[in-house]
Amino acid sequence: MTNEYLKKDMPSQEKQEDFYHKLRDRVQNWVDSKPKVIGTVSGYVLFAPDLFHLLTKLMLDNRIDKKSKAAVGAGIMYFIAPIDFLPEILLGPGGFLDDVVVAVFVINTLLNKFPREVIAEHWAGDEDLLALVKKVSNSGNKYVSKLPAGRLVKRFTK
């Protein structure tokens, strides 16, 4: 990335919302086409757009300190990295599963540091944020610490 690229303005709120809704539709269509995985992987994959949206909003929140934003940035980078543990290029939206686990790990760390309201005000998902974090954390904490982004997040949050 060049410095010129970093100086570009953020996309408008309308474009950000459009991207978010397109991603949600894409994930929902994938889940609808895989009825046999409902209740397992797809239950978590459905949260990918909401978690990505939350991370990007937290990155712009001036109440979040720089050290915590570094962890948020690691979570965002894991979402957009073309190659990760479960690459979307090979698995389609099913590849968001590891991204969800990393995002929840980051958000859980922030929830332990900041008032819940600071985090929750950016949440666009349908399910209760704390319930989601608890559900994914219970099944993914062991997994995330083995991922490169999980180790990076732990380094920033110690």
Q: What is the 3-state secondary structure (H, E, C) of 48-65?
A: HHHHHHHHHHHHCCCCCC
Q: Which range has the top average pLDDT, 16-25, 37-46, 133-142?
A: 16-25
The residue extents of the domains of the chain are 13-157
| Residues 123/103, Cβ–Cβ less than 8 Å | no
Helix %, strand %, coil % of the chain (to 5) = 70, 0, 30
Looking at per-residue pLDDT, the higher value among 1 and 115 belongs to 115
For residues 45 and 97, the answer to whether their CB atoms sit within 8 Å is: yes
- When mean pLDDT is compared across 42-46, 99-103, 143-147, the lowest value belongs to 143-147
pLDDT of residue 124: 83
pLDDT value at position 87? 62
pLDDT tens column, 63-83: 999 999 999 999 888 887 777
Distance between CA atoms of residues 23 and 47, nearest Å: 11
- Reported as a single tens digit per residue, the pLDDT across 36-47 is 655 556 667 778
User: Distance of CA 14 to CAs 21, 46, 48, 79, 123, Å?
Assistant: 11, 22, 20, 21, 17
Q: Give the C-alpha distances (Å, rounded to integers) separating 3 from 6, 8, 77, 81.
A: 5, 9, 18, 20
